[in-house]
Amino acid sequence: MNMISTDRNAAPVIEVREVSRGFPDGDGGWITAVDRVTLGFQSGEVTALLGPNGAGKTTLIDMLLGLSAPESGTIVVAGTAPRTAVREGRIGALLQTGGLLPDLTVKETVRMIAALYRDHAPVEEVMETAGLTDFAARRVGKCSGGQQQRLKFALALLPRPAIIVLDEPTTGMDVTARHEFWERMRAQAETGTTVIFATHYLEEAEQFARRTVLMHRGRVIADGPTAEVQRKAGAANVTVTWSPTEDDLAALPRIASAERRGGQITFRTEDADALARHLLTATTAHSIAVRPASLEEAFMLLTDGVRADGQDGADGVAAPVAPAERPATTEGASR
Amino acid sequence: MNLATYIAMDFWRNFRNAGNTFFIVVLPAILFLFFGVNMDNTDLAVGHGNVSAWIMIGMATYGAITATTALAGSAAVEIQQGWGRQLALTALPHGGFVLAKTLIALGMAVLPVAVLNVLALVTTAQMPPLTWLASAALTLLGSVPFALYGLAVGLLFRSDAAVGAASGVVVVLAFFGNAFNPMAGVLLDIGRFTPMYGPVALARYPLMEGEIVGTSGPVGTDPLWGILLNVVAWSVVFALACLLLQRRRTARQ
């Protein structure tokens, strides 16, 4: 278990092939939460599953854990069916919300769940690793959100899993707790554990994952080294005071869109540095402000790009839609 | 895997829930000591025993039914609030949760039956030994359908407060079920059709053989088939409610 596999040609420890899954949206319609996703995860790899709410992350994770079954497609975890892998303790997970009994103490919770594994790490050891010893006797209902997440992390470690899946693990944590959590996770990953975590924070992917899978509306829209994906998703809004001519505008590098408001003009770009350099050196624009685009905006940009390339959009499934027009999030529906 | 550890710890968690345990064990015990011991008429003979035994059986049935209602209801709430997902990440097989909760609910239901029968034995109640045993066993048996009642409420409202209210409703049902005070006249005519009447009459059957007593003597007789019909009919009603609610829940996911 302590081996770090660096063999890229080895069979993936998780194989997701052409997997789809949808839900009724409550209005008689149907939401395709995960849409023909194909992914492989290598042993020892740390991957971020990045996407806004409703991207299908939780639905995909539920299927990796055998909590729900794909409508079509196959998933193989550690060479077997997800449910079997879970039962054999090869995959552990930290689920998103709920999932704890408020009237148990922290230690009782770990002991109770430990009793349900055929073979588990010592309770004390797991509590030490997850940092629970300071509040072991506290009722779960009285723990902070961050403490509850740490408890769930401990539960995920109990079966000594070779694969750990974390669904938005830092929800409810303040900055310090978040930092500390990722330190613990990093230590865990260094033992060779395969880690897959869902997040909608670009920074978490950037700081922790070597690989990032970008999901949007049920589709994988980018997959690769985090830095590369980050550059793609790293859109920004650049605002300047300027009154350009059409020719001025045509000369601007890397512009996705422009919007005039009074004397100000806001550009959306995927390369803020290049645009800012050009604006300040080659034009009369001044009073520049650069604001990183939200992930949601970045996704709009990316999906626009996908459609413009002609690779998609024919079936309309992944066509960009303004966030407000979207039906209830698929992640809500999966709970 | 050690399911026994899980069951013991979950039993202890439920047992130390003071609200539950008070209504399941303490309240019926106090009510019995108050109304069933050393009142004017408690040593009067009824059926094969005395009034004290008659009152004790009603109280024990109330406690046992409160236990199965509360435990099954909170199990439904637990599952839906995400604990079920946590358990699904362990080696606990399908059905393991149901087995655990069934044993815990029965364990909690045994508590009032045991406590009240022992209290009755050491105070003023009188019954032949076999009647004691048969009546205690039937008390437990009659409490089982109410697990379906608790489950239905848990599925419908998904909150501990609703399950608490459902256990509270058991008090009202117990009155109409003839558990506390001997009914007669219109109340008895109505009460016969309410869900606790069957279990209470069934638990008292070894003692009374269906005879109904009012405050001033016998007021009629229930045939055994009538008592069983009540139990079976309400079991079916509760089971159907659970099935419908479960289907609604699955459809929504």
For B85, the closest of A99, A108, A112 (CB atoms) is A99
Q: What confidence category does residue A311 fall into, taking pLDDT thresholds of 50, 70 and 90?
A: very low
Q: What does the alpha-carbon distance between residue A30 and residue A25 come to, in Å, rounded to a whole number?
A: 5
Question: What pLDDT score does B117 carry?
Answer: 96
Computed over every residue of chain B, the mean pLDDT equals 91
Sheet architecture: strand order including A236-241: A255-261, A264-269, A236-241, A286-292
Question: What pLDDT score does A98 carry?
Answer: 66
**Residue A214 pLDDT > 80, yes or no?**
yes
Question: In this prediction, what percent of chain B has a pLDDT beyond 70?
Answer: 98
What is the average per-residue pLDDT within A84-104? Answer: 89
| Whole-complex ipTM | 0.84
What is the average per-residue pLDDT within B192-212? Answer: 95
| DSSP 8-state assignment for residue A103 | T
Instruction: Pick the residue from chain A with its C-alpha nearest to B92.
Output: A116
User: Cβ separation of B253 and A118 shorter than 8 Å?
Assistant: no
Q: Is the CB of residue B92 less than 8 Å away from at least one CB of chain A?
A: yes
**Residue A106 pLDDT > 50, yes or no?**
yes
Token duo for residue B106: 């029965």
**Residue A308 pLDDT > 80, yes or no?**
no
Q: Using the structure block, give the residue that is written with the tokens 């009540």.
A: B230
Question: What pLDDT score does B250 carry?
Answer: 63
Instruction: Pick the residue from chain A with its C-alpha nearest to B77.
Output: A101
Q: Are strands A163-167 and A194-199 parallel, antiparallel or unpaired?
A: parallel
**Structural domain boundaries of chain B?**
3-252
Residues of B in contact with A159 (CB under 8 A): 90
CA A101-A201-A23 angle, to 5 degrees, is 60
Q: Is the CB of residue B90 less than 8 Å away from at least one CB of chain A?
A: yes
Question: What pLDDT score does B188 carry?
Answer: 92
Question: In this prediction, what percent of chain B has a pLDDT beyond 90?
Answer: 69
Which positions ≥6 away from B105 have C-beta within 8 Å? B67, B68, B71, B72, B75, B147
**Residue A202 pLDDT > 50, yes or no?**
yes
Residues A222/A298, Cβ–Cβ less than 8 Å: no
**Residue A99 pLDDT > 90, yes or no?**
no
Which amino acid, residue B5?
T
**Residue B48 pLDDT > 90, yes or no?**
yes
Q: How far apart are the first and last CA of chain A?
A: 32
B210-252 pLDDT, tens per residue?
A: 999 988 888 889 999 999 999 999 999 999 999 998 887 665 4
Residues A295/A52, Cβ–Cβ less than 8 Å: yes
Token duo for residue B74: 């909170």
**Residue A330 pLDDT > 60, yes or no?**
no
Question: What pLDDT score does A104 carry?
Answer: 94
Residues of A in contact with B253 (CB under 8 A): 23, 333-334
**Residue A120 pLDDT > 90, yes or no?**
yes
B59 CB neighbour count, 10 Å cutoff: 29
Which amino acid, residue A311?
Q
Q: Is B16 exposed, middle or buried (0-12, 13-18, 19+ CB in 10 A)?
A: exposed
Q: What does the alpha-carbon distance between residue A301 and residue A257 come to, in Å, rounded to a whole number?
A: 9
Taken as a whole, chain B contains a residue count of 253
Q: Are strands A91-94 and A163-167 parallel, antiparallel or unpaired?
A: parallel
B214 CB neighbour count, 10 Å cutoff: 14
For A67, the closest of B81, B88, B92 (CB atoms) is B88
**Residue A297 pLDDT > 90, yes or no?**
no
Residues A64/A49, Cβ–Cβ less than 8 Å: no
Rg value, chain A, Cα: 22
B84 membership: H or E segment, kind and range: helix B84-87
B63-103 pLDDT, tens per residue?
A: 999 999 999 999 989 888 889 889 989 999 878 888 899 89
User: Cβ separation of A103 and B92 shorter than 8 Å?
Assistant: no
Q: What does the alpha-carbon distance between residue A311 and residue B10 come to, in Å, rounded to a whole number?
A: 54
Q: What confidence category does residue A302 fall into, taking pLDDT thresholds of 50, 70 and 90?
A: low
Question: What pLDDT score does A142 carry?
Answer: 95
Residues of A in contact with B100 (CB under 8 A): none
pTM, two decimals, is 0.80
Most confident of A21-25, A83-87, A246-250: A83-87
B119-138 pLDDT, tens per residue?
A: 999 998 999 999 999 999 99
Q: Is the CB of residue B250 less than 8 Å away from at least one CB of chain A?
A: no
**Residue A310 pLDDT > 50, yes or no?**
no
| Bigger pLDDT: B81 vs A156 | A156
Task: Number of A to B CB contacts under 8 A, please give it.
Answer: 81
**Residue A4 pLDDT > 80, yes or no?**
no
CA B234-B239-B242 angle, to 5 degrees, is 130
| Bigger pLDDT: B95 vs A308 | B95
**Residue A309 pLDDT > 70, yes or no?**
no
| Bigger pLDDT: A167 vs B20 | A167
Maximum Cα–Cα distance for chain A, whole Å? Answer: 72
